[in-house]
Amino acid sequence: MELKNQQNQTRVTSKSTPPTVSSQSRLSGLFQQPVVLFTLCTIMTLVIASIDWLTELGISIGLFYAVVVFIAGRLPDPRAPLIAAGVGTTLVLVGLFLSPFAGEWWKAVVNRGFSILTIWITAKWIGQQAHEKQTLESIVDGSPIGKLVVDQQGNIALVNTQIEELLGYSRDELIGRPVETVLPEPMRALFSFDKKERADSLRTKPLGTGRNVYAWNKHGEEVPIDIRMTPINTPSGKMVLASIVDMSERIKLETILAARVRQEAAIADFGQRALIERNIDALMKGLVTLITETLQVEYCMILELQPNKQTFFLRAGMGWNEGLVGHARVAVDARTQAGFTLASTGPVIVNDLRTDSRFDGPTLLHDHGVKSGISCIIPGMRERPFGVLGVHSTRSLVFSDDEVNFLQTISTILANAIQRNQAEQTIQASRKKYESLIEHLPDVVYSALSDQTATTTFISQRVKEWTGLDPSAFYDNPENWSSTIHPDDRERTLQTFRSAIANRAEFICEYRILHEDSKRIRHVKDHGMPIINEKNELIRYDGIMRDITEQKEVEQELKRLTTNLEADVEERTLEVRRSHENLRRLAAELTVTEHRERRRLATELHDYLAQLLVVSRIKLGQATTLKPSPEVVELLKSSDQMLDESLMYTRSLIAELSPQVLYQFGLPKAVRWLGEQMKKYGLTVEIHDTVESVDFDDDVAILLYQTVRELLINVAKHAEIKHATVSLSKGPGDHLNITVEDHGKGFKLNTIDNLKKFGLLSIRERLEALQGCFDLDSQPGKGTRATLIVPLHKNQSKPLIPSDIRTPVQKNHLPSSEIVRILLVDDMAMVREGLRSLLQNYTNLKVVAEAENGQEAIELARAVQLDVIVMDINMPKVNGIDATRHILNEAPHLKVIGLSINEDKEQRDLMLQAGAMEHLKKDCPAEELYQAICQACQKK
C-alpha cells in the first residue's frame, strides 16, 4: 500500500517539462550525419585537386588531403580513412605531372612525398582512434547495466541498449544531446559540478551512496536510479562514463520488505500478548492501536456478533468518535460491509466505498468519511463466528496481499485467544460441576499413587458411608484401605493391583469390603485406569468403585430362576414341537382338502353344468329346423353364441379348479400344461423336463402342482418380467427336483414380511410335510430361484401324516445300521439340552454323554466309547482347543467338531490346528450340524 502511494506521489511531482535541445546542438548533430560528411569529403577533395593541378603551391596544397582523411574518419565505415588516403595519394601523384612547376624536379618529388607521408600518418592515426572507439562502444554495449558516456562539453557521446530500454529513447535520439536531457529539474543541480569541473577533477562515485537520484524518461516521468561516474580517456579526449542502475524494483522490494517486517513484528508482539493477557477487553484495546500503527490507517474496529445474530456490537476500536466504542451497533445486513463480510468466505477489500456496488456501508463508515478498507471474519467456536475485524481509511488505498494476510493472521490469533478464554471459563465451570458431581455420585472416586503401597491421594466422601472411615484416614495410613477388604478377597485384590502397576495396565476387579462398625458386607466393582505423563512415566491410577451388591443379589436370584427356567423351557419346547408338527400336518391336509373340494366342484361342473349347456345347444339347433321367422332365427343364433361362450368358460373354470391332465397324465405333463396356461397372465414359461413320469399319490401331485402354480403366479405379479423357467429332474438319493427360476427384480430373503407376502412360508411347510425341503435364493435386481426337493416314494399310502417329527432330506447320510456315538461338551446346560434334542431326531445319532468343561471331556473320552465329540471352545478350567489337542493325542480315531457363539477366524484356525474336523456356529441349522457329523465319520 505504501509503495503504490509513493509511486502516485512520484508521478505527480515529475510532470515538469523536459529540457529542450539548443540550435547549436542541432547543428552539431547535423555535421555528424554520414551523408553530410561524405559530401563534405568529396567537395574538399575536388577543390584541393583543382588548386594543386592549376597552381605551383605543391606541398602546401597536398597537406589539405590529410584534413579530408580526418573528416572521413567520422564516417561509420572503418575503411573510409584508408579510401580517402588512397584517393589523396593518387591525386598527389597525378598532380606531380599535371601541375606547373618551374623549379628543379627533385624538389617537386620531395614535396609530394612529404605530402603522401602526412596523408598516411593521418590515416593511421585516424584508424587507431576508430579502433579505440569501437573497443569503447563494445565495452559499453556489452555491459549488463546502463552505460552513458558524456564528453567534456556535457553532451551525450555514447549509450547502450540498457539505457534505451530504461529511458525509452533510441540511441540516435540521445547521442549529441546535452546530458540534461535525461536529468529532471530537481536533479540537475546535483550533476552541475560533475559537468563544469574538468574531467581530471572527477572522482569515482560508487553505486549505492544513498542519494535519491532520478532520471527523465522519454515520457517526462522520473525513473529512480543509482549512478556511478568514472573519468575515462577516449580518442576524442577525456570523457565521463556513467553507470546507471534502475532502482525501481529495489525500492519496491525495500518498501514491501519494510512493511512485511513491521507486520511480522506486530504479529509476534500480539502473539505474545495473547498468550499472557487474560483480559480480552484489554487485549482488544491494545490490538486496534497496534493495527492502525502497522497498516498506517486512521480507523480500526472489532465488531462482536450478538447472540440474536441480527446486530454487531462495537467491542473495541481506534479513531472513532468519542462515545461510539462500547456502545455503537451495526446491523447484520448484506448491504453493509460487516454483514457482507460475515456472509463471505474470505476477506472483503474495498478500494472506494463510494463506488462499490456490493454494499452501501453502514452509517458509521460514511459519517467518518471512510473510502477504503479491509474486513475479515474473526472465527468462533462451534462454527459460529465471533465477529468481524476491520481497518478503514479516508484515503483511497490499494491494499496488498501481505496486508490482507496480516489482518487475517491477526484475526486468527485473536480468535484463538478468545476461544482459549472461553475454554478456560468453561473448564472452571466444569471443574466446579465435576467436584459437585463427584460428591453426589453413588460411587467412590479415588486417585492412588503407583507405588506398592498404593498411597491414596484423593477419595470421595462416599467411602465413609461404605467403610465407616473418614477419607483422611486413607491419606494418613495406606494400610487402612486393605484392612477394609474382606479377608477372603484381600490377597487376590492386592495381587491384581500390583500386577496392573507392573504392566502399566488398567484393571477391573470385584471384591467385598466390610464396614468398620456394622460389619456389613458390600460387593464393589473397582475399575482403575493408569495415568501416564508426557515422559511415558506412570504417575498414578484414577479409579471408580461401584456398589454392585444389589447386582450380585439379582445374579443369585437369576441363577435360581435360570435353573427353573431350563426345566420350563424343555417342557415348552416339546409342546412347541408338537404344535408345530400339528400345524404342519394341518396345513398340508388343508391344502389337500382344498384341492379335493376344487376337484369335486370341477367334477360337478363337468358332469352336470357342462352337460346341460351341451344339451341346450342341441335343442337350440333343433329349433332352427322348424323354419321360424327371421327374428326368431336371429334370437336363436344369439342364444347359441352365448351358450357357446358359457361352455368355453365352464371348461376353463374346470381346468382352473382341477386340471384333468394332472390326474390322467401325471405331474410332468400337468406342469407343461400349466406353462401354456400362464400365457393368460402375460408370462412365457420355458419347460426343461428330463423326467418322463413320476409315481406320486394324487395328494402329493396336487401339492406339488399347486406349489409350482403359486410360484409362477408370484413371478407374473411381482418379478416385473415376462419370462420364467421351470425345470424337472431327478436328483441324487432318488429325489425329484423342481426349479422355478426368473431373472426379475428379486427381493430380500432376510425379512419375514417378504416370505409371508409371497406365500413362501406355506410352501416350506408343505414340502417339510412331504419329507422334502424348499430352497430359495433371491437378491434384489438378480432374480429368484426356488427349488423343490421331494423324495420319490413308490406306493406311498399316507405321505402327509408322518409318524414323528422329521428333518429335511439329507444329502449326505449314514446307513441306519451305523449308530454314531456322540459326546456333547458345553458349559451351558441349556445349550447341551438344545443340541441333544436336535440330534435325537436323527435315528443314526446317539448322545451317550455330556460334559460341562474341557477337563470332564478328557476324562469321558477315556472312559466312554465314542465316535464324535461336539466341543465348545470357550469353557472354564480347560478350553475346547486344549481339550481337543489332548484328546486327539490320546485317541486319534475320534472326530471333533468345534462350536462357538461367533465367527472368530482366529479361534476357528486354532481349533482346526488342534485337530478338529470342522468349526460351526452354535446357532447353525440342525441339518448343517448333521452333515458335518456325517462327513467327519466318513473321513479316515
β-strand pairing of 918-921 with 868-872: unpaired
pLDDT surpasses 70 at 799:
no
pLDDT attached to residue 8? 41
Cβ neighbours for 402, distance < 8 A, ≥ 6 positions apart: 256, 259, 260, 263
Where is 524: in which H helix or E strand?
Answer: strand 521-532
Beta bridge partners of 133: none
Sequence-distant contacts of 144-148: CB under 8 A, at least 24 apart: 145/243, 145/244, 145/245, 146/225, 146/243, 146/244, 146/245, 146/246, 147/241, 147/242, 147/243, 147/244, 148/174, 148/179, 148/182, 148/241, 148/242, 148/244
pLDDT attached to residue 298? 93
In tens, the pLDDT along 676-729 reads: 888 888 889 888 887 777 777 777 887 788 888 888 888 888 888 889 999 888
pLDDT attached to residue 301? 94
Residue 40: pLDDT band (50, 70, 90) is confident
Three-state secondary structure call for residue 275: helix
378-387, 568-577, 661-670, 755-764 — most confident range: 378-387
Share of the chain above pLDDT 70, in %: 77
CA-based nearest residue to 163, from 99, 93, 216: 216
| CA distance linking residue 464 with residue 449, whole number of Å | 20
In tens, the pLDDT along 64-120 reads: 777 777 777 667 676 777 777 777 777 777 766 666 555 566 666 776 777 777 778
Three-state secondary structure call for residue 874: coil
pLDDT attached to residue 319? 92
Helix, strand, coil percentages (3-state) for the chain, rounded to 5, are 50, 20, 30
pLDDT attached to residue 173? 84
pLDDT attached to residue 321? 92
| CA distance linking residue 798 with residue 815, whole number of Å | 24
Question: Greater confidence, 212 or 236?
Answer: 236
pLDDT surpasses 70 at 631:
yes
| CA distance linking residue 532 with residue 504, whole number of Å | 9
pLDDT surpasses 80 at 806:
no
Residue 810: pLDDT band (50, 70, 90) is very low
| CA distance linking residue 370 with residue 353, whole number of Å | 7
pLDDT surpasses 80 at 54:
no
Pull the grid cell for residue 211. Answer: 542519494
Residue 583: pLDDT band (50, 70, 90) is low
In tens, the pLDDT along 310-353 reads: 899 999 999 999 989 999 998 888 888 888 888 888 899 998 88
Cβ atoms 216, 181 nearer than 8 A: yes
The Cα-based distances of 635 to 612, 618, 619, 622, 662 in angstroms read: 19, 15, 14, 14, 40
Give the mean model confidence (pLDDT) for residues 116-140. 74
Give the end-to-end CA distance of the chain in Å, rounded to a whole number: 93
Cβ atoms 223, 215 nearer than 8 A: yes
Sequence-distant contacts of 257-265: CB under 8 A, at least 24 apart: 258/2, 259/1, 259/2, 259/3, 259/400, 259/402, 259/403, 260/402, 262/294, 263/294, 263/402, 263/403, 263/406
Secondary structure letter of residue 626 according to DSSP: G
| CA distance linking residue 408 with residue 646, whole number of Å | 92
In tens, the pLDDT along 492-525 reads: 988 888 888 888 899 999 999 998 888 888 999 9
Pull the grid cell for residue 666. Answer: 401325471
pLDDT attached to residue 804? 37
Pull the grid cell for residue 201. Answer: 577533477
Three-state secondary structure call for residue 225: strand
Give the mean model confidence (pLDDT) for residues 419-427. 85
Residue 461: pLDDT band (50, 70, 90) is confident
Pull the grid cell for residue 53. Answer: 593541378
Question: Greater confidence, 436 or 817?
Answer: 436
pLDDT attached to residue 922? 67
pLDDT attached to residue 210? 44
CA-based nearest residue to 422, from 579, 545, 278: 278
